Amino acid sequence: MTDWQTLLTTAAAALGLSVTDAELAAYARFLELLRTRNAQMNLTAITEPREAAIKHFLDSLTVDLVWRPHPGDRVIDVGTGAGFPGLPLAIHHPEIRVVLNDSTRKKTDFLHEAVEELGLTNVKPVWARAEELGRDSAHRGRYNAVFARAVAHLRVLAEYALPLLKEGGVFVAMKGPGGALEVPDSERALHLLGGVVQSVESLVLPEAGERTLIVIRKTRPTPSRYPRPAGKATKGPL
């Protein structure tokens, strides 16, 4: 096992998460591809293996601290960038189906290559704005869970995520320190979109500081006027 794989395994265990050898091998192949492609185009600022082990792989897996998947669940990672948190979660949970959504073509092109290289059969990259997917019947109301890390303020994210969820599904917004402060400013948006805050958890990643996981449950259908056309959520948040 390499140094970063040992670090990941130990740090995961400290949080009560376990990582198999097969998973570690898949993460290694993905990291190698990410580092190669990142040298040609900017995909992520974090590629040093020990840093990536914690800030990319372990951080992605912390979703498991607040969410329990069922076999066959459909989940979507909105604004996935180079695949976080959705790609590690798809490797960790081969029993679920994962859509990796990003509005930047070069990122979804990279993810198509990664999915092929790793032979993942439960992952589909989708190039689109999340607001477009929220108005597309193939995606609207179709997901058991939505994840988003480092994409936008919670009240903007809510307009991207809630339309995509089935009723009863959960949206996990992954935030840094102080993420909980976004909750009061988002109450109105959540109410309009049919969501309620279920929990706000904080945790500490070794040498990476505090993280906040905001869990929102969809309890009512999202009115058909949401999401508004692309760009409106960021320009005039609910």
Stretch that binds ligand SAM, among 24-32, 97-105, 193-201, 206-214 (CB under 6 A): 97-105
Q: Which residues pair with 209 in a beta bridge?
A: 205
To the nearest whole angstrom, how small is the minimum distance from the Cβ of residue 165 to ligand SAM? 16
User: Residue 38, interface with ligand SAM (CB under 6 A)?
Assistant: no
Residue 88 or residue 195: which is nearer to ligand SAM going by CB? Answer: 88
Residue 12 or residue 151: which is nearer to ligand SAM going by CB? Answer: 151
Residue 161 or residue 183: which is nearer to ligand SAM going by CB? Answer: 161
Q: Quote the CA–CA distance of 141 and 191 in Å, as a whole number.
A: 17
Residue 157 in contact with residue 132, Cβ under 8 Å?
no
Residue nearest to ligand SAM (CB): 81
Residue 124 or residue 149: which is nearer to ligand SAM going by CB? Answer: 149
What sign for the dihedral angle of Cα 199, 235, 101, 220?
Answer: positive
Question: Strand (E) positions, 96-194?
Answer: 97-102, 123-127, 143-149, 165-175
To the nearest whole angstrom, how small is the minimum distance from the Cβ of residue 8 to ligand SAM? 16
Instruction: Name residues contacting ligand SAM, limited to 160-219 (CB under 6 A).
Output: 160
Strands across the sheet containing 165-175: 123-127, 97-102, 74-78, 143-149, 165-175, 209-218, 195-205
# binding residues, ligand SAM (CB under 6 A): 18
User: Residue 150, interface with ligand SAM (CB under 6 A)?
Assistant: yes
Among positions 92, 129, 211, 218, the unique one binding ligand SAM when judged by CB under 6 A = 129
Q: Quote the CA–CA distance of 118 and 115 in Å, as a whole number.
A: 5
Report which of 96, 76, 23 is spatially closest to residue 53, judged by C-alpha positions: 23
User: Residue 130, interface with ligand SAM (CB under 6 A)?
Assistant: yes
To the nearest whole angstrom, how small is the minimum distance from the Cβ of residue 1 to ligand SAM? 25
Task: Collapse the DSSP code of 169 into the 3-class scheme (helix H, G, I; strand E, B; otherwise coil) and give the result.
Answer: strand
Among positions 2, 6, 42, 104, the unique one binding ligand SAM when judged by CB under 6 A = 104
CB atoms within 10 A of CB 174: 22
Q: Quote the CA–CA distance of 54 and 143 in Å, as a whole number.
A: 27
User: Residue 151, interface with ligand SAM (CB under 6 A)?
Assistant: yes
Instruction: Name residues contacting ligand SAM, limited to 39-58 (CB under 6 A).
Output: 44
Residue ranges binding ligand SAM (CB under 6 A)? 44, 78-81, 84, 101-104, 107, 129-131, 149-151, 160
